[in-house]
Amino acid sequence: SKRTKIKALLTGEQTGMEVTVMGWVRAFRQNRFIALNDGSTNNNIQIVVDFENTDPALLKRITVGAAISVSGILSESLGQGQKVEIPASVIEVLGDCDPEKYPLQLKNRPSLEYLREIAHLRFRTNTFGSVFRLRNALSFAVHRFFQERGFVYLHTPVITASDAEGAGETFRVTTLDPAKPPLTESGEIDFKQDFFGKATNLTVSGQLEGELGAMALSDIYTFGPTFRAENSNTTRHLAEFWMIEPEMAFCDLAENMDTAEALLKYVISYALEHNREDIEFLSQRLLEEEKSKPQQERSEMNLVEKLQFCLDNDFERLTYTEAIEILRNSPHNKKKKFQYLVEGWGTDLQSEHERYLVEKHFKKPVILTDYPKEIKAFYMRQNDDGKTVRAMDILFPGIGEIVGGSQREERLDKLEQRMDEMGIPKDELWWYLDTRRFGACQHAGFGLGFERLVLFVTGMGNIRDVIPFPRAPKTAEF
């Protein structure tokens, strides 16, 4: 028989019709009322069991966590709390679940830390149901944004021989035997004998390949997994994360910023429109969590208001140099409340500084531009001042950096000179340099960290809770 999703039934439109639902038991009260969930919504459908006429052996198998199938006529509910219910005419247990061993009994709400340890089952909680439905909606919205604007979705490789960011935080990929690797005459590991013919690693960014695509297709975007072997055990970093990287030919930094701001607003507004229920659920969850905090630490806005606020306001745009001045003269800096005091020009901003600008000073998303060239990647367009590059970082409340991007250096001589200064091997990137030889043009792009976006929209506090199977130091159980 054809099965219907619970979300569709709860609207009540199919009242009076014979329906079949399949899902997992969330609760079974008084041998009479089953709360059934199939992940299409956090709202369960109530199944009414005629227990006097049901085999007691079957009743015993209806336990929390069991997979069951139910058929009956969708009816208006006489009880409180739900519009419709299904008086069961047929119940079948599809998969038993031993209540003694099942770790997700509803009696006491499991902590997020505990659920991280049972990541294989956490999908079955309302919190993670909402998070992963939102993750899905956001990724769909990302594609829709770019497709509506004529961007080509370009698949860039996961195995590559370059380190686009030049940060050296790559995971090596090799088929060589680490116990007895082939050696060159000078005694070094001979990667030429590897299947790829050279030392390879997992990609840290699809940007360089993306630029090749943009130099013919004009506007492209990537959306795939990227890898960083940084050993940072924070709530904002993963070793494996998904990145969205548009690259646009004939585009400058201003248009790049416009595109990034429009993308962020588009996907947030899509989620508010299509996944309102999930956002409201998570908003409520946050409010309850905040009750345990002192008044002054609670946020002024709830999650829905925070998202709406982000849509209603232009992001603040200023240069790195202006930001440093604000930070240096801030009461926070003068009272030495920063762990790292802001003294002068040239150093990278710490996340505490980024959050100060966004949360305390401007109180809205901020785009910082024109960073010192020393703290940015080799491919960024150099400004005429000889000191800064056309970089942009977008900083979000509660998140810090969510987007990093730039206008690219399209002038071959300037690019080569910068690569030399930074010790980036030009011979390995000959294919990248070719685009500067054959019809080079102004172009720009950025990278949006997808999990940081999901963090913002769900209001979750730890990046490990917005990706199904987090990869971070000491967490690769699943």
Quick one: what does residue 451 bind among ligand 4AD, Mg ion, none, with the CB cut-off 5 to 8 Å set by partner type?
ligand 4AD
Residues near Mg ion (CB under 5 A): 404
Stretch that binds ligand 4AD, among 11-19, 50-58, 235-243, 342-350 (CB under 6 A): 235-243
Closest-by-Cβ residue to Mg ion is 404
Smallest distance from Mg ion to CB 456, Å: 16
Instruction: Note whether 391 binds ligand 4AD by CB under 6 A.
Output: no
By beta-carbon proximity to Mg ion, the closer residue of 129 and 404 is: 404
Quick one: what does residue 353 bind among Mg ion, ligand 4AD, none, with the CB cut-off 5 to 8 Å set by partner type?
none
Phi-psi region of 31 (alpha: psi -120 to 50; beta: other; left: phi over 0): left
Residue of 65, 213, 397, 449 that binds ligand 4AD (CB under 6 A)? 449
Instruction: Note whether 405 binds ligand 4AD by CB under 6 A.
Output: yes
Quick one: what does residue 65 bind among Mg ion, ligand 4AD, none, with the CB cut-off 5 to 8 Å set by partner type?
none
Stretch that binds ligand 4AD, among 261-269, 273-281, 308-316, 402-410 (CB under 6 A): 402-410
Instruction: Note whether 400 binds ligand 4AD by CB under 6 A.
Output: no
Quick one: what does residue 205 bind among Mg ion, ligand 4AD, none, with the CB cut-off 5 to 8 Å set by partner type?
ligand 4AD
3-state SS, the chain, equals: CCCCCHHHHHCCCCCCCEEEEEEEEEEEECCCEEEEECCCCCCCEEEECCHHHCCHHHHHHCCCCCEEEEEEECEECCCCCCCEEEEEEEEEEEECCCCCCCCCCCCCCCCHHHHHHCCCCHHHCHHHHHHHHHHHHHHHHHHHHHHHCCCEECCCCCEECCCCCCCCCCCEECCCCCCCCCECCCCCECHHHCCCCCCEEECCCCHHHHHHHHHHHCEEEEEEEEECCCCCCCCCCCCEEEEEEEEEECCCHHHHHHHHHHHHHHHHHHHHHHCHHHHHHHHHHHHHHHCCCCHHHCCCCCHHHHHHHHHHCCCEEEEHHHHHHHHHCCHHHHCCCCCCCCCCCCCCCCHHHHHHHHHHHCCCCEEEEEEEHHHCCCCECECCCCCEEEEEEEEECCCEEEEEEEEECCCHHHHHHHHHHHCCCCCCCHHHHHCCCCCCCCEEEEEEEHHHHHHHHHCCCCHHHCCCCCCECCECCC
Instruction: Note whether 403 binds ligand 4AD by CB under 6 A.
Output: yes
Smallest distance from Mg ion to CB 402, Å: 10
By beta-carbon proximity to ligand 4AD, the closer residue of 38 and 409 is: 409
Smallest distance from Mg ion to CB 214, Å: 20
By beta-carbon proximity to ligand 4AD, the closer residue of 191 and 379 is: 379
Closest-by-Cβ residue to ligand 4AD is 449
Per-residue contact string for residues 244-283; x = within reach of ligand 4AD by CB under 6 A: -x--------------------------------------
Residue of 21, 243, 263, 307 that binds ligand 4AD (CB under 6 A)? 243
Instruction: Note whether 164 binds ligand 4AD by CB under 6 A.
Output: yes
Instruction: Note whether 205 binds ligand 4AD by CB under 6 A.
Output: yes
Smallest distance from Mg ion to CB 259, Å: 17
By beta-carbon proximity to ligand 4AD, the closer residue of 133 and 381 is: 381
Q: Which of 31, 28, 34 is nearest to 6 (CA)?
A: 34
Residues in touch with ligand 4AD (CB under 6 A): 164-165, 205, 207, 228, 230, 237-238, 241, 243, 245, 401-406, 445-447, 449, 451-452
